[in-house]
């Protein structure tokens, strides 16, 4: 009798746990869709508003500029509060406000403010990531991050695929209005999520402040963060930066622009789902990350040599798959060696560092574009990929960067 009652209680607990994870997964998709509903049209939209290409690069990169300042303090504060959900709520509200600011009249003021506030929204990804990992056992962090990366890309893809269609159907403003609706829906979902008790630190725990110095002393975390900085620099030069503008300059309309986005994002989502779970255990983490950076450097540098939209779509498909080889692995490696009390702090440091790449990548590429056209920026992105490959080879020779945990 007691055994049956125990089994029933265990089943009910797993059901509640699964329902919470399902809600968090839905919130993840809505969160990213609200931020990326306008990304494919952002470059063309800023150009339409008469903003110079160098300033376009700064506006695109300002999204990362905010995160450089916010993500680490947010992670530290989240660990100190032992809470994640309030930050998710704030992130959804910031996402809605960001889209609203793009609707303001004028030239560059509204878009710049909107992109800066979008950075605040994206900073909520620190507790978002830690909360999601808390639903998995500690030895399945790699699998959790692979699944989370898949959900991230799914949300981004859903938003980006709708972007061109919305712009065609109702003009640029329609995409930003849709972003407000998606953020509001995400807020409603987040309000229904309950944090698992295992994510909280026991009230009598007294070592959190002394242990937190482990985050800043971790050579492995700094190395992984540096690689992610370069990875995000490439991403925000390409699909989340100037690739859509390249497609428009090649004559792409809304439908073709949607196709270019799909060509990148679908392989990116598919490979993200299997990279940590299957590919890394089979081929090795070092080889996978190194190969990913080499390939993305090659495919990024090849973009200027794509003389048709079909050729551009091929480079995007290959680039999307290549970038997915390292993103989920680096994300899992950032927190795998830290206890729950330190995970938001570690993730905050990791994401603050890679936010530098989100800002500097498109900002520097925008300056190069002003001098040598879009090709110069893509060649710079290719150089970042080669640099990351060399650094990953050096870092993996040390004991600081360990392989992430896998589960087949």
Predicted confidence (pLDDT) per residue in 260-279, tens digit = 888 998 899 889 888 877 78
Torsion sign, CA atoms 339, 343, 349, 355: positive
Residue tagged 């879009």 (tokens): 374
Length of the chain: 408
- The tokens describing 240, both together, are 């989340």
- The tokens describing 121, both together, are 């929204």
Please tell me the predicted confidence (pLDDT) of residue 402. Answer: 54
> To the nearest whole percent, how much of the chain has pLDDT over 70?
87
Q: Comparing 378 with 15, which gets the higher pLDDT?
A: 378
At 384, the pLDDT band (50, 70, 90 cuts) reads very high
Given a contact cutoff of 8 angstroms between Cβ atoms, the answer to whether 147 and 135 are in contact is no
CA distance 368 to 109: 23
Could you tell me the residue range of the domain that residue 286 belongs to? 19-194+214-395
Of the candidates 259, 272, 323, the one whose C-alpha atom is nearest the C-alpha of residue 294 is 323
pLDDT for residue 226 is more than 90: yes
Phi, psi of 53 (to 5 degrees): -65, -35
Q: Is residue 260 part of a domain?
A: yes
CA distance 287 to 98: 39
Spacing of C-alpha 145 from chain mean position: 12
3-state helix, strand, coil in the chain (%, to 5): 85, 0, 15
pLDDT tens digit sequence for 3-17: 554 454 445 455 666
Q: Is residue 120 part of a domain?
A: yes
Summarize the confidence of residues 196-218 as an average pLDDT. 60
Please tell me the predicted confidence (pLDDT) of residue 300. Answer: 96
CA distance 245 to 129: 31
Q: Is residue 199 part of a domain?
A: no
Residue 82 burial by Cβ neighbours in a 10 Å radius (0-12, 13-18, 19+): middle
- The tokens describing 226, both together, are 């540096």
Phi, psi of 263 (to 5 degrees): -60, -35
Q: Is residue 200 part of a domain?
A: no
Summarize the confidence of residues 191-215 as an average pLDDT. 62
Given a contact cutoff of 8 angstroms between Cβ atoms, the answer to whether 261 and 244 are in contact is yes
pLDDT for residue 258 is more than 50: yes
Q: Is residue 209 part of a domain?
A: no
User: DSSP letter string over 155-199?
Assistant: HHHHHHHHHHHHHHHH-HHHHHHHHHHHHHHHHHHHHT----GGG
Long-range CB contact pairs, 307-310, < 8 A, 24+ = 308/250, 309/247, 309/250, 309/251, 309/252, 309/256, 309/259, 309/260
Of the candidates 89, 105, 65, the one whose C-alpha atom is nearest the C-alpha of residue 354 is 65
CA distance 391 to 300: 18
Please tell me which of 37-46, 141-150, 233-242 the model is most confident about, judged by mean pLDDT. 233-242
User: CA distances (Å), 7 to each of 3, 4, 10, 20, 197, in order?
Assistant: 6, 5, 5, 20, 20
pLDDT for residue 20 is more than 60: yes
Q: Which are the contacts of 238, defined by CB distance < 8 A and separation ≥ 6?
A: 264, 300, 303, 316, 319, 378, 381
User: CA distances (Å), 75 to each of 69, 79, 83, 343, in order?
Assistant: 11, 6, 10, 8
CA distance 28 to 213: 30
Spacing of C-alpha 127 from chain mean position: 13
Q: Cβ atoms within 10 A of the Cβ of 336, count? A: 21
**Cα pseudo-dihedral 112, 118, 123, 124, rounded to 10:** 160
Q: Is residue 6 part of a domain?
A: no
**Cα pseudo-dihedral 259, 265, 269, 270, rounded to 10:** 50
Number of structural domains found in the chain: 1
Given a contact cutoff of 8 angstroms between Cβ atoms, the answer to whether 115 and 63 are in contact is yes
Please tell me the predicted confidence (pLDDT) of residue 390. Answer: 95
Q: Is residue 167 part of a domain?
A: yes
Element spanning 229, H or E: helix 219-237
CA distance 41 to 37: 9
Cα R_g (the chain), whole angstroms: 21
At 202, the pLDDT band (50, 70, 90 cuts) reads very low
- The tokens describing 89, both together, are 């709520």
Residue tagged 């007691």 (tokens): 2
Report the CATH number at residue 267.
Answer: 1.20.1250.20
Q: Is residue 286 part of a domain?
A: yes
């Amino acid at each position: 009798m007691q055994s049956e009652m125990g089994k029933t209680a265990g089943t009910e607990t797993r059901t509640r746990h699964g329902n919470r994870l399902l809600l968090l997964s839905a919130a993840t998709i809505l969160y990213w869709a609200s931020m990326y509903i306008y990304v494919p049209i952002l470059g063309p939209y800023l150009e339409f508003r008469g903003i110079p290409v160098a300033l376009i690069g700064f506006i695109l990169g300002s999204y990362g500029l905010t995160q450089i300042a916010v993500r680490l303090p947010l992670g530290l504060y989240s660990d100190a509060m032992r809470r994640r959900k309030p930050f998710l709520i704030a992130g959804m509200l910031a996402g809605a406000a960001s889209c609203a600011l793009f609707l303001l009249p004028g030239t560059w003021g509204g878009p710049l403010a909107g992109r800066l506030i979008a950075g605040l929204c994206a900073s909520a990804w620190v507790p978002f990531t830690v909360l999601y990992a808390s639903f998995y056992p500690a030895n399945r962090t790699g699998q959790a991050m692979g699944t989370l990366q898949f959900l991230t890309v799914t949300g981004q893809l859903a938003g980006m695929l709708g972007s061109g269609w919305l712009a065609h159907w109702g003009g640029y403003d329609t995409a930003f209005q849709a972003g407000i609706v998606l953020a509001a829906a995400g807020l409603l979902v987040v309000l229904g999520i309950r944090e698992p008790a295992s994510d909280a630190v026991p009230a009598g725990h007294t070592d959190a402040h002394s242990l937190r110095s482990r985050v800043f002393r971790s050579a492995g975390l700094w190395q992984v963060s540096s690689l992610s900085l370069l990875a995000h620099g490439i991403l925000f030069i390409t699909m989340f930066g100037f690739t859509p503008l390249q497609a428009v300059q090649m004559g792409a309309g809304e439908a073709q622009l949607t196709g270019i986005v799909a060509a990148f994002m679908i392989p990116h989502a598919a490979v993200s789902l299997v990279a940590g779970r299957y590919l890394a255990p089979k081929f090795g983490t070092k080889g996978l990350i190194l190969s990913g950076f080499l390939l993305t450097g090659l495919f990024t540098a090849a973009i200027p040599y794509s003389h048709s939209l079909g050729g551009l779509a091929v480079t995007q498909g290959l680039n999307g798959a290549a970038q997915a080889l390292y993103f989920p692995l680096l994300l899992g490696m950032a927190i795998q060696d830290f206890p729950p009390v330190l995970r938001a702090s570690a993730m905050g440091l990791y994401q603050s560092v890679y936010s530098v790449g989100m800002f500097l990548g498109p900002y520097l590429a925008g300056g190069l574009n002003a001098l040598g056209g879009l090709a110069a920026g893509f060649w710079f992105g290719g150089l970042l990929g080669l640099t990351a490959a060399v650094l990953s080879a050096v870092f993996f020779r040390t004991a600081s960067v360990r392989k992430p945990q896998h589960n087949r």
